[in-house]
């Protein structure tokens, strides 16, 4: 069975992380090794950078550079070794999040993100990306009832609208890779939609 790189994307409050245990269970039932990881993070250095990125205010380009620094370490230490031994890699966010948050919402020039992506990833792309999509007002409402928010989760509805627009643009530009999950429905229906996508991998 060929190794696959699967990423989960979506605005804060879209509920994607809720489905990670179920996806691991689905994939594990096939008898394959599943590596579950996240961005920013995934490595010891990446987790330290994650703390800075989620809680320290900084210039959007500094933020972008740190995201890719963490990503380079993530790719080298976790993603490529796992794929090389035939494992499935499941990552909670990857580069599409940088296009959505730093480029789409914070105004970093997309061509700069493209250059960093080409340098850091050297052609590596997910095999499939599940985009958990909800209306902005749903995301905001869910976050209002969440744990102590990080700096991104405290942003305005306008900020989240830009993120959603950027994600949907990425999906239109990469229709073979992106699978849009309607996350604005009962949890069991979202789970079935995710299960249907995982089943055809």
Q: For position 154, what pLDDT does the model report?
A: 84
| The 3-state secondary structure of 144-189, one letter per residue | HCCCCCCCCCCCCHHHHHHHHHHHHHHHHHCCCCEEEEECCCCHHH
pLDDT digit string (tens) for the chain, length 201 residues: 689 999 999 999 899 999 999 999 999 999 999 999 999 999 999 999 999 999 999 999 999 999 999 999 999 999 999 999 999 999 999 999 999 999 999 999 999 999 999 999 999 999 999 999 999 999 888 888 766 788 988 888 899 999 999 999 999 999 999 999 999 999 999 999 999 999 998
Those residues with Cβ within 8 angstroms of residue 128's Cβ, 6 or more apart along the chain or in another chain: 4, 6, 7, 177, 178, 179, 197, 201
Residues, the chain:
201
Per DSSP, what are the bridge partners of residue 179? Answer: 130
Query: In this structure, what CATH number is given to the domain that contains residue 94?
Result: 3.40.50.300
Helices 136-144 & 157-173 angle (0-180, nearest 10)? 130
Do the Cβ atoms of 188 and 126 come closer than 8 Å?
no
The secondary structure of residue 43, as a DSSP letter, is S
Q: Are 132 and 183 in contact (CB under 8 A)?
A: yes
Quote the domain boundaries for residue 60.
Answer: 5-199
Count of domains forming the chain: 1
């Amino acid at each position: 069975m060929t190794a696959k790189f699967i990423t989960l994307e979506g605005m804060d409050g879209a509920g994607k992380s809720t489905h990670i245990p179920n996806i691991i269970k689905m994939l594990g039932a096939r008898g394959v090794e599943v590596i579950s990881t996240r961005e920013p993070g995934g490595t010891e250095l990446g987790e330290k950078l994650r703390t800075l990125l989620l809680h320290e205010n900084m210039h959007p380009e500094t933020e972008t550079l740190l995201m890719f620094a963490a990503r380079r370490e993530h790719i080298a230490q976790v993603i490529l070794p796992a794929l090389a031994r035939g494992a499935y890699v499941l990552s909670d966010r990857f580069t599409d999040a940088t296009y959505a948050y730093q480029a789409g919402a914070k105004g970093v020039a997309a061509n700069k993100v493209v250059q960093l992506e080409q340098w850091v990833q050297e052609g590596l792309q997910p095999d499939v990306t599940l985009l958990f999509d909800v209306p902005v007002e749903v995301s905001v409402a869910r976050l209002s009832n969440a744990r102590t928010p990080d700096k991104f989760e405290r942003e305005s509805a306008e900020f989240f609208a830009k993120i959603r627009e950027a994600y949907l643009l990425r999906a239109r530009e990469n229709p073979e890779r992106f699978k849009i999950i309607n996350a604005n429905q009962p949890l069991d229906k979202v789970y079935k939609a995710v299960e249907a996508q995982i089943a055809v991998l």
